Amino acid sequence: QEDDFKKVISHAKEYGYVFQSSEIYDGLSAVYDYAQNGAELKKNIREYWWKAMVQLNDNIVGLDSAIFMHPTVWKASGHVDAFNDPLIDNKDSKKRYRADVLVEDYTAKIEAKIDKEVTKAEKRFGNAFDKKQFLETNPRVVGYQEQINTILKRLGKSLENEDLVDVKNLIEELEIACPLSGSRNWTDVKQFNLMFGTKLGASADSAMDLYLRPETAQGIFVNFLNVQKTGRMKIPFGIAQVGKAFRNEIVARQFIFRQREFEQMEMQFFIRPGSQKEWYETWKEKRMAWHLSLGLGAENYRFHDHEKLAHYADAAADIEFKFPFGFKELEGIHSRTDFDLGSHEKFSGKKLQYFDPELNESYVPYVVETSIGLDRMFLAVFSNSLVEEELDNNTTRTVLKLPAVLAPMKAAVLPLVKKDGLPELAQEIIDDLKWDFNVVYDEKDAVGRRYRRQDANGTPFCITVDHQSLEDKTVTIRHRDTMEQQRVAIADVKAIIHKEVDM
Ligand code: ATP
């Protein structure tokens, strides 16, 4: 698993997807830059989301609010008081951990034991092996699973009750039961606020303390009435936005999974009080359907319903994805009640109510939110797509099987040789295609090597121009995943690509 993940990270660098920020200065921890291909992939994921959420729903509109907001916003939202991570230091190693993540590391160790049992049983039973049944009935596996559930339940309860002493106790017990850090010398658990602070204004006494927003949602809440009125929106309706968010994450690791600066794609859906259960279920389903539409494999997703709820929620679930390091949160769906709008009413003294013409009454709407990290989605797509394939002739190829709609480059145009007018014809084809798609020209090396390069880059089509092309205006078009080649008229190329890559 770890090796797979290393491959993902080095492939992302080698093919111009993701670089460490400020690399020439030895990098900045947990901050990343998206390179020539990464920027395109990210843009395509953003557009895929925006199209599904805004363009295809006539009751959802977009917003692009500022990163800086009035500081009272973060008091009202609860972030000043409650946006904390529980931290614990190991006195021997001087390493700092997020207490909840550390506990998850212990449960991951137990999960690894389950995986081992599965592999063993798979070998023993061969084709007759029924994994689902095994997981449900094997006493050892069931025991491990119960152990995990008990640990997580206890963690959830202690965090909810702010019982930080018990969180420390739990870690100490776990370290004895399944040693992980190799040291039992811990400090107490302390709460640490995750917001980045900065100052607005130049002079010391007039400067105002600001925060970089830790989520995009609040920009939607404070604009709720402006958008509702000017857009003449009727409940139920949604406001969607994509933008940067910042969190001073302590345990920032796992590549772009957990960064200090990242992008969120959030949608707040405003509804009648009392209808939240129904809309919560609807959005859980709709969001899962969106994920499945990309074809990364249904077995790689699962819901995780929260028992421990944030201060603003009356129901919450994660859509978890099978990353190279296991199932982890990719998206959250939260029933936020009227917490945010109600709180902004109190703090601002302005009414944030909606007049419902059907009920003939005013109320503070309830909210169901869908919130997904763009960078996490990038990692999900990228890691899932990277495969090593054994070929018939005993060689292997590395292919980045990105969904064609998301691929940065849709086609590469390759003249078979660098002479006889083939480059010129290739260029003509590019000049026609580039109005519709990103296309790339490549004339270096043997054509087989060029195919491999495009496979590894995730380009769904290679269009090869040869001598026959000059005579009959046809080319070969090679499909990345099947490696099949067809001879087609140059005039048909555009339509063939459109069919596969259009959103
Ligand atoms: P986690 O438990 O992993 O810290 P969270 O529950 O705090 O995440 P939310 O506040 O619900 O996350 O944010 C919504 C989404 O934003 C998450 O599902 C995730 O995809 C993304 N996200 C949150 N924090 C980060 C981060 N530090 N880096 C990248 N993406 C993030």
| Ligand 1 centroid distance, CA of 129 (Å) | 36
Q: In 293-420, where does DSSP find H-type helix?
A: 339-348, 374-385
Pairing label, strands 411-415, 439-441: parallel
Task: Give the separation between CA 320 and CA 387, rounded to whole angstroms.
Answer: 21
What pLDDT digit, counting tens, does each position of 218-235 carry? 999 999 999 999 999 999
Mean pLDDT of the chain: 94
pLDDT at position 270 over 70: yes
Residue of 102, 195, 254, 258 best suited for mutating to test ligand 1, as the one with most atoms within 8 Å of CB: 258
Task: Give the separation between CA 286 and CA 278, rounded to whole angstroms.
Answer: 12
Q: How far apart are the first and last CA of the chain?
A: 32
| pLDDT at res. 204 | 67
Q: Is 251 in the pocket of ligand 1 (CB under 6 A)?
A: no
Contact residues for 92 (Cβ-Cβ < 8 A; gap 6+): 183, 185
Tell me which residue has its CA closest to atom 16 in ligand 1.
373
Tell me which residue has its CA closest to atom 26 in ligand 1.
258
What pLDDT digit, counting tens, does each position of 316-367 carry? 999 999 999 999 999 999 999 999 999 999 999 999 999 999 999 999 999 9
Task: Report the candidate in 21, 46, 49, 25 with the shortest Cα–Cα distance to residue 35.
Answer: 21
pLDDT at position 182 over 80: no
Task: Report the candidate in 261, 289, 297 with the shortest Cα–Cα distance to residue 374.
Answer: 261
Helix (H, G, I), strand (E, B) or coil at 88: strand
| Ligand 1 centroid distance, CA of 178 (Å) | 28
Tell me which residue has its CA closest to atom 9 in ligand 1.
332
Helices (H) and strands (E) counted in the chain, each on its own, are 17, 23
pLDDT band at residue 150 using 50, 70 and 90 as cut-offs: very high
The answer to whether 402 touches 385, Cβ cutoff 8 Å, is: yes
Task: Report the candidate in 188, 151, 153, 157 with the shortest Cα–Cα distance to residue 170.
Answer: 151
Tell me which residue has its CA closest to atom 24 in ligand 1.
258
Secondary structure element (H or E) that encloses residue 498, with its range: helix 490-501
Task: Give the separation between CA 328 and CA 385, rounded to whole angstroms.
Answer: 17
Task: Give the separation between CA 437 and CA 407, rounded to whole angstroms.
Answer: 10
What pLDDT digit, counting tens, does each position of 271-286 carry? 999 999 999 999 999 9
| pLDDT at res. 116 | 93
Q: Domains along the chain?
A: 1-70+198-386 (3.30.930.10), 84-193 (no CATH), 409-501 (3.40.50.800)
Q: Is 330 in the pocket of ligand 1 (CB under 6 A)?
A: yes
CA distances from 150 to 108, 135, 137, 170, 326 (A): 14, 17, 18, 11, 20
Q: Is 258 in the pocket of ligand 1 (CB under 6 A)?
A: yes
User: What share of the chain has pLDDT > 70, as a percent?
Assistant: 99
Measured N-to-C along each axis, helices 374-385 and 36-50 cross at an angle, to the nearest 10 degrees, of: 110
Tell me which residue has its CA closest to atom 23 in ligand 1.
373
ipTM higher than the 0.90 cut? yes
> What one-character-per-residue DSSP string does 391-443 give?
-TTS-EEEEE---TTT-S--EEEEESSSSTTHHHHHHHHHHHHTTTS-EEE--
Q: Is 104 in the pocket of ligand 1 (CB under 6 A)?
A: no
Q: Can you read off the two tokens belonging to residue 477?
A: 């078009």
Task: Report the candidate in 267, 232, 268 with the shortest Cα–Cα distance to residue 354.
Answer: 232
The answer to whether 280 touches 368, Cβ cutoff 8 Å, is: yes
In degrees and rounded to multiples of 5, residue 23 shows phi and psi of -60, -35
> What one-character-per-residue DSSP string does 128-160 give?
G--HHHHHHH-HHHHHHHHHHHHHHHHHHHHHH
| pLDDT at res. 381 | 98
CA distances from 132 to 118, 129, 304, 318, 326 (A): 10, 9, 18, 22, 18
Pick from 7-16, 388-397, 423-432: least confident: 388-397
In degrees and rounded to multiples of 5, residue 89 shows phi and psi of -110, 145
CA distances from 104 to 36, 118, 174, 187, 328 (A): 35, 21, 11, 18, 11
In degrees and rounded to multiples of 5, residue 201 shows phi and psi of 100, 160
pLDDT at position 1 over 80: no
Specify whether the backbone of 191 is left (phi greater than 0), alpha (psi in -120 to 50) or beta: beta
| Ligand 1 centroid distance, CA of 373 (Å) | 6
